[in-house]
Structure formats: C-alpha cells, structure tokens
Amino acid sequence: RALLRDFLWSLLFALPVVLLVSAGGGLFLARRAFRPVEKIVRSAEQITLHNLSGRLPVPHTGDELERLSLALNQMITRLDGAFQNNRRFLADASHELRTPLTVLRGELEAVMQQADGEPELQDRIGSVLEEVERLAKIVEGLFALSRLDAGEAQAEWKPFDLARLVATTADQMNLLAEDKGVTIICESSGEVNVQGDKGRMKQVIVNLLDNAIKYTPSGGRVKIRTSACEKTASLEIADTGVGIPATALPRVFERFFRVDKARSRAEGGAGIGLSIVKSIAAAHGGQVEVASEEGRGTQFRMQIPLMETSDENKGKPYAG
C-alpha cells in the first residue's frame, strides 16, 4: 500500500509536468513548422495588381510546402504575363488609332471647307467631325491610362508649386466657366511645393475642373483650394452642381463609368476622366476621394505627399 501511495504521489506531480512539457513542445514544433507558411502569407498579401513582379519565398524543405509555393509562383508569373499582354495591347491599340483619327479629322475639315454653300452637307460633316473628336478624346484618354498603368515616367519628375499650377489652370478655364455662367473661386494658403510630373498634374486639375463646370448649372460656384498640412499637399474642388447619387459614388473612378450615360455623352464625356485622375494621383504616391450630395454639390479631394526638402533636386520615377 505504501508503494502504491508513493506511486500515486509521483504520478500526481509528474503528470502535470509531463503534460506541460509536451504541450510546450507541441506548440514549439507547430510554430516552427508554420513559420514558412507565415512568410508565404505575408509575401502574398503584398502582391497586388501593380506589383505582380513580386514572388513568394520558397522554403527548401522538399515537401508539399515547397511544391505549393513553387506552383503559386508559377501562377503569379502566368498572371503577370497575361496582365502585361493586356497593357501592351491597350497601349498599342490606342497608339495605332491616333494617326488614322488625326488623318480623318484633317480630311473632314478639308471636305467641310469644300462644301461651302451647302449647309445640309456641312451639318452632316459637322456631326461626323464631332464624333471623330469624341473618339480622339477617348483614344487619348486610353493612351494616357496605358502609360500610367505601365508606370512610365513620361516627362521629367521635378519640383513645382501646386498652388500656382492650380491658379494658372483655373485662369485658363475661366472662359469656359463664364460661358456656362459658373463662377470659379480660387483659394490658396501660400506655396504648396510638391514633386512630380507637372503636365500630368495639370491634367488632374483640368479633368476635375472640367467636370465641376460641366455638372454645375448656370449661377453655380466652383471653389478650388490648395493647402499644405504636415507632409501632405491637398487639392480640393467643390461645386454646387447636380451631385452624384450615393449608389454611384463608389464607382465614379472606374473606367468608362458614367452616372447618367445620356447626359454625360451629350457633354462629350466617356467616363475615363476620373480614372485618369486616380491613376495620376496614385503615380504621385497619393489618392483622390469624393463626397457628394445629390442636388447640392460634389467635392473632390486629392492628397499627395509634399516635397521633401532634403532630396529637392533628386529625380524620381513614377511609382507605377
């Protein structure tokens, strides 16, 4: 009986210790076994449409995990190839379409001059010319998007004052606004120094301002404001126009999305202006957001990083 009691005591003490050690050992082994999986998950989370050149780490364990990561990497390589083909196709197609469209426009203008004195014929040529202009605008937009998608640094990357660019662009577009009876108000709190592609940034301002004027009825106002806060430069364009329905708001930056197809088409829009704005903002390391209330107005806000004073003169390519 004494022997049995001793045995019971030793069991009572030893059993929890054995259980603890085995649980700890199990946990340690499981963690070690899953470490490569964690690495793969972390890398996979970082691979996006814009960075398909990244690959998953391959653990050289000789087991299913190694085969799985190899297979996933091969899949990413195939996807990367397919996306690059798509981008190249878009770039080539839009590039090839530009020349014939320019020729077509020139020829139509010449025919229009020859048809002097035949108003009916001139009307018909005029409407064909309008369609050709619209087509040319879409092709230009697609060409710009394809270059942005490819992450190409088309023009030099240099420092400039965003507030000044906004003021001069708004000045140039004032005539368009006056024609529509819309007032442009430009507000600025001083210099907003950023670094980037000035030409493309001007396109952002033109596209946003053009939309604001287009979708604001006569008597309305368009307010443009630039500001610099900590490390961020902001550009805000707010109008008192027709607004965008809440259901359409999440989709306005999609390519070829138009809220009211008939109205937008009549205004010459194809639904790619805002997607260009979004791509340019992303290429500058920033983003655009929109807020709107139907019947009251729309506000667009673009935020990009302010220029870092230390690398003021350093050239920087597009982030893609």
| CB-CB contact of 148 with 103 (8 Å) | no
Q: Is 272 in the site for ligand ADP (CB under 6 A)?
A: yes
Q: Which amino acid is at 258?
A: R
Number of residues that bind ligand ADP (CB under 6 A): 21
Please select the residue that binds ligand ADP; options are 94, 203, 226, 298, rule is CB under 6 A: 298
Quickly list DSSP for 6-48: HHHHHHHHHHHHHHHHHHHHHHHHHHHHHHHHHHHHHHHHH--
User: Residue from 258, 279, 302, 307 that binds ligand ADP (CB under 6 A)?
Assistant: 258
Query: Residue 220 interacts with ligand ADP (CB under 6 A)?
Result: no
Indicate the residue among 78 and 296 with the shorter CB distance to ligand ADP. 296
Indicate if the alpha-carbon torsion angle 301, 225, 207, 156 is positive or negative: negative
Q: With contacts defined by CB under 6 A, name the span among 24-32, 44-52, 98-106, 258-266 that binds ligand ADP.
A: 258-266
* Strand bridging mode 297-305 / 221-229: unpaired
For residue 288, the tally of other CB atoms under 10 A from its CB is: 21
Give me the residue whose beta carbon is nearest to ligand ADP.
269
Considering beta carbons, is residue 211 or 303 the nearer one to ligand ADP? 211
Contact by Cβ (8 Å): 258, 141: no
The answer to the question of residue 238 lying near ligand ADP (CB under 6 A) is no
Position among 260, 282, 316, 320 found at the interface with ligand ADP (CB under 6 A): 260
Q: Would you say 160 or 257 has its CB closer to ligand ADP?
A: 257
Nearer to ligand ADP, 215 or 318 (CB): 215
What DSSP string runs through 265-311?
HHTT--S-HHHHHHHHHHHTT-EEEEEEETTTEEEEEEEEEPPPSTT
Please state whether 216 falls in left (phi above 0), alpha (psi between -120 and 50) or beta.
beta
Is position 139 an interface residue for ligand ADP (rule: CB under 6 A)? no
Q: Least distance in Å: CB of 29 to ligand ADP?
A: 55
- The interface region with ligand ADP, picked from 36-44, 164-172, 183-191, 268-276 by CB under 6 A, is 268-276
Minimum distance, C-beta of residue 97 to ligand ADP, in the bound complex (Å): 18
Residue 318 three-state SS: coil
Decide: 236 and 224 in contact? Cβ < 8 Å.
Answer: yes
Which positions touch ligand ADP (CB under 6 A)? 211-212, 215, 239, 241-244, 252, 257-260, 264, 269-274, 298
